[in-house]
């Protein structure tokens, strides 16, 4: 259960193209007169009828982009974008170095992505295959153009002239300077600043790395086959049979039978020579590329511009955290061992396949958290009203359901929210694609469809995002009821959305969530702290039939249950993060990736390595989060500090809300992340402070403890 599994931000590829996919939209700022209260838009059937694809407006396309009323429109939108980009490339090359250079680069990026980002969403989520296919095609075509631009020497020169001009650079405001550097940073990886021979090498390495990433990623999901006679007959039914073979497609981590989990672990994680070669070549190639463009290691390059800044800080953070966790982890493992002894006296040594299962058993035993008891208090409409009232008290912001035009949305159950500030007016739009449907990925995710930016005419281009959840449809007549976990996920994703809505950056290159990876989860995890606070929950959690509020002790028990074995869970994340750092650190690696895994597992995690297994070959996050797997832990540490220092006293403190908006959300990725943290906390936190915040969250709440004893 990787922490990162829950939420996916559309991440920039670690070694991706310079002008990454960007936002789209026609930008018509039509303020609807038919705004409805947000809660009823999600709960009441009558309102749903009203909001459903009405004929009120004239026919439009997806997200209000006129061309996208049919799949063929993607071609048209793409051609327009490419024409526009050609014009902008010429303009960039003929403009003398100055702030305008950065503006043109941002426009160029915006023009390509007014199609690519939108298509990125449509290709995974549209129910109509023809739309998905057309979107995929548009993504590919724009990707090809972007690759060409990345190696366009003349275009790069125009940016280099600016960066080399100290007088002009020092006259730029910090945001513009940072964005110029970010564009250059993206260019560098294609080796554009190197001589002919090295540049060719860089291009070849980039191509090879992309292939290896894809191959490795596919390999992480492939099932392993095994002769069925190897397994005792009574457990074979747990796996898919294929003639004389059994397919093992996962770890079966929640299966109560120890033997099934053991078999699944040993077979699914069995070492595979081909996949091993891919991984080792991928790591070596990333290292070569990073060194070619001037960095010591791949990690040094990946951490440039992040909150941690360099591998040394990450190493310290993880080492200190591991030290502070080790005693607690030991206790957690002892608890799990005792439980295993009780349930399976013959074989009670705690093994890696036991950790998720027995921590779950302990959680249920300690705190009987039956989601069914909580669901009736968390109707989707109530939760949305809760978010609305929280944002309104903290930030002066309201959410309204807006009627959509015919053709604007891709599924009838999608809701469009207008985000409106009490004095500043409309800030942007959130499309809520919350419900399951066939062919829709089971993934909670925030997509930026259009980034905010200051247009040439002085108008602000409003941000547009999609929040994708995978909620079950309700039984007829009843509202959709959320489990506590789903409620927390909703708050988490809304944290990303508010980051997008409140980022008021001049450039869309750094809009909202387009910020360093180790800062990106701060606003979303902070929302989880709100979701777990009784004062906040009590504002909205009402039984959908009786109107009764959720009892306080049920909220406390829920919070306490999350702390059961939480040290061991965090220790496991530290182990993964350390492994990721070593793999992307100094090359050649001193040992094979499997030997490094074994050594690190025993040192940082504590449960024994199992011979002939190679967990790292299933570590898919190595692709997207290369050298940045620690990010989630670090974001959580910052969110925890912000919560404790600024909101724990009063989660509705408007002055703190305003400070949060001003110091953290408003800048998107346009400001160095540690400066945003300093602005918020009004002090400069040390690595020890980060670690303290994470560890103190594991302490049991004394009051609840007494109550339950
Ligand atoms: Zn997230």
Centre of ligand 1 from the C-alpha of residue 444, in Å:
8
Q: How far is the CA of 200 from the centre of ligand 1 (A)?
A: 37
**Tens digit of pLDDT for each residue in 246-265?**
999 999 999 999 999 999 99
Residues of the chain with CATH 1.20.1050.40: 62-193
* Complex ipTM more than 0.95, yes or no: yes
| Ranges 85-94, 136-145, 531-540, 590-599: which has the least confidence | 136-145
With pLDDT > 90 as the criterion, what percentage of the chain qualifies? 81
Q: What is the pLDDT of residue 473?
A: 86
Asked whether the predicted pLDDT for residue 198 surpasses 80, the reply is: yes
Q: How far apart are CA 399 and CA 35, in angstroms?
A: 9
User: What is the C-alpha separation between 128 and 216, in angstroms, rounded?
Assistant: 29
Place of tokens 């809300």: 657
Interatomic CA distance for residues 409 and 34, integer angstroms: 17
- Cα(673) to centroid(ligand 1), Å: 17
Cα 259 to averaged position of ligand 1 atoms, centre (Å): 34
Least confident of 1-15, 179-193, 652-666: 1-15
Measure the CA dihedral 59/64/66/67, to 10°: -120
**How far is ligand 1, taken at its centre, from the CA of residue 498, in Å?**
12
Q: Residues 214-223: pLDDT tens digits? A: 999 999 999 9
Q: Please give the pLDDT value at position 33.
A: 52
Quote the Cα angle for 688-689-692, to 5°.
85
Top-level class of domain 375-536+651-671:
alpha beta
Alpha carbon distance 674, 681 (integer Å): 10
Task: Please tell me the chain's helix, strand, coil percentages from 3-state DSSP, rounded to the nearest 5.
Answer: 60, 10, 35
CA of 67 to the centre of ligand 1 (A): 31
CATH code of the domain occupying 224-331+569-625: 1.10.1370.10
DSSP 482-526: --HHHHHHHHHHHHHHHHHHH---S-GGG-TT-S-HHHHTHHHHH
The continuous run of DSSP H or E covering 301 comes out as helix 298-302
Rounded average pLDDT over 685-708:
83
Q: Which of 8-22, 530-544, 572-586 has the lowest mean pLDDT?
A: 8-22
Q: Where in the chain is the domain with CATH 1.10.1370.10?
A: 224-331+569-625
Cα 594 from chain centroid? Answer: 28
What is the 677 CA–ligand 1 centroid distance (Å)? 18
Residue 494 CA, ligand 1 centroid: distance in Å: 9
Q: Work out the average pLDDT over 334-361.
A: 93
Task: Give the C-alpha separation, 159 to 673, whole Å.
Answer: 24
Residues assigned a catalytic role: 493
| Percent of the chain predicted with pLDDT > 70 | 92
* Class of the domain covering 62-193: mainly alpha
| Ligand 1 geometric centre to CA of 523 (Å) | 9
**Is the pLDDT higher at 643 or at 145?**
643
Cβ atoms 426, 417 nearer than 8 A: no
Q: How many CA atoms lie within 13 A of 431 on its CB side?
A: 26
pLDDT of residue 246: 95
The pLDDT value given to residue 629: 96
The ranges of the chain annotated as CATH 3.40.390.10 are: 375-536+651-671
Measure CA 320 to chain center: 25
């Amino acid at each position: 259960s990787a922490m990162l599994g829950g939420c996916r931000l559309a991440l920039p590829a670690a070694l991706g193209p310079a002008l990454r996919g960007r936002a789209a939209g026609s930008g018509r700022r039509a303020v609807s007169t038919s705004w409805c209260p947000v809660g009823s838009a999600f709960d009441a059937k009558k309102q749903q009828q009203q909001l459903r694809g009405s004929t009120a407006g004239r026919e439009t396309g997806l997200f209000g982009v006129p061309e996208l009323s049919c799949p063929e429109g993607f071609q048209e939108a793409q051609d327009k974008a490419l024409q526009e980009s050609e014009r902008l490339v010429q303009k960039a090359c003929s403009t003398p170095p100055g702030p305008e250079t950065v503006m043109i680069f941002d426009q160029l990026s915006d023009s390509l992505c007014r199609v690519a980002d939108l298509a990125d969403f449509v290709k995974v989520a549209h129910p109509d295959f023809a739309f998905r296919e057309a979107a995929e095609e548009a993504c590919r075509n724009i990707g090809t153009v972007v690759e060409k631009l990345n190696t366009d020497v003349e275009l790069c020169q125009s940016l280099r002239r600016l960066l080399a001009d100290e007088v002009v650079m020092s006259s730029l405001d910090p945001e513009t300077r940072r964005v110029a550097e970010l564009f250059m940073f993206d260019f560098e990886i294609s080796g554009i600043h190197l001589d002919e021979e090295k540049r060719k090498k860089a291009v070849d390495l980039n191509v090879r790395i992309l292939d290896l990433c894809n191959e490795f990623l596919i390999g992480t999901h492939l099932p392993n086959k095994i002769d069925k006679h190897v397994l005792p007959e009574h457990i074979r039914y747990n796996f898919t049979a294929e003639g004389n073979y059994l397919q093992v497609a996962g770890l079966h981590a929640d299966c109560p039978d120890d033997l099934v989990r053991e078999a699944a672990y040993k077979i699914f994680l069995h070492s595979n020579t081909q996949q091993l070669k891919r991984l080792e070549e991928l790591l070596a190639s990333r290292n070569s590329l990073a060194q070619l463009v001037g960095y010591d290691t791949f990690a040094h390059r990946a951490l440039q511009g992040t909150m941690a800044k360099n591998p040394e800080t990450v190493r310290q953070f993880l080492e200190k955290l591991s030290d502070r966790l080790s005693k607690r982890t030991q206790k957690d493992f002892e608890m799990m061992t005792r439980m295993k002894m009780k349930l399976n006296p013959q074989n009670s040594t705690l093994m890696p396949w036991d950790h998720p299962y027995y921590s779950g058993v302990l959680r249920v035993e300690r705190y009987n958290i039956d989601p069914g008891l909580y669901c009736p208090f968390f109707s989707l409409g109530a939760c949305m009203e809760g978010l609305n009232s929280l944002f309104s008290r903290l930030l002066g912001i309201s959410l309204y359901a807006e009627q959509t035009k015919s053709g604007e949305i891709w599924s009838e159950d999608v809701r469009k929210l207008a985000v409106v500030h009490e004095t500043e007016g409309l800030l942007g739009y959130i499309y809520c694609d919350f419900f399951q449907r066939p062919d829709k990925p089971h993934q909670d995710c925030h997509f930026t469809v259009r980034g905010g930016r200051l247009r040439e005419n002085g108008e602000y281009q409003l941000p547009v995002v999609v929040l994708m959840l995978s909620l079950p449809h309700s039984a007829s007549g009843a509202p959709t009821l959320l489990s506590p976990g789903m409620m927390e996920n909703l708050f988490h994703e809304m944290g990303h959305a508010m980051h997008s809505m409140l980022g008021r950056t001049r450039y869309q290159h750094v809009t909202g969530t387009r910020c360093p990876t180790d800062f990106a989860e701060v606003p979303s995890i902070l929302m989880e702290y709100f979701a777990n606070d009784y004062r906040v929950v009590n504002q909205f959690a009402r039984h959908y039939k009786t109107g009764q509020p959720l009892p306080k002790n049920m909220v406390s028990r829920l919070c306490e249950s999350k702390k059961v074995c939480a040290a061991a869970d965090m220790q496991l994340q530290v182990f993964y993060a350390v492994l990721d750092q070593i793999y992307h650190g100094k090359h050649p690696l001193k040992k094979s990736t499997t030997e490094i895994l074994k050594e690190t597992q025993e040192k940082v995690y504590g449960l024994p390595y199992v011979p002939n297994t190679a967990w790292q070959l299933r570590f898919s996050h190595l692709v997207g989060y290369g050298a940045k797997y620690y990010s989630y832990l670090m974001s959580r540490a910052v969110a925890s500090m912000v919560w404790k220092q600024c909101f724990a006293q009063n989660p509705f403190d408007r002055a703190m809300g305003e400070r949060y908006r001003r110091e953290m959300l408003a800048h998107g990725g346009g400001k160095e992340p540690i400066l945003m943290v300093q602005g918020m906390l009004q002090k400069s936190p040390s690595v020890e402070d980060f670690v303290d915040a994470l560890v103190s969250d594991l302490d049991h709440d004394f009051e609840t403890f007494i109550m339950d004893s």
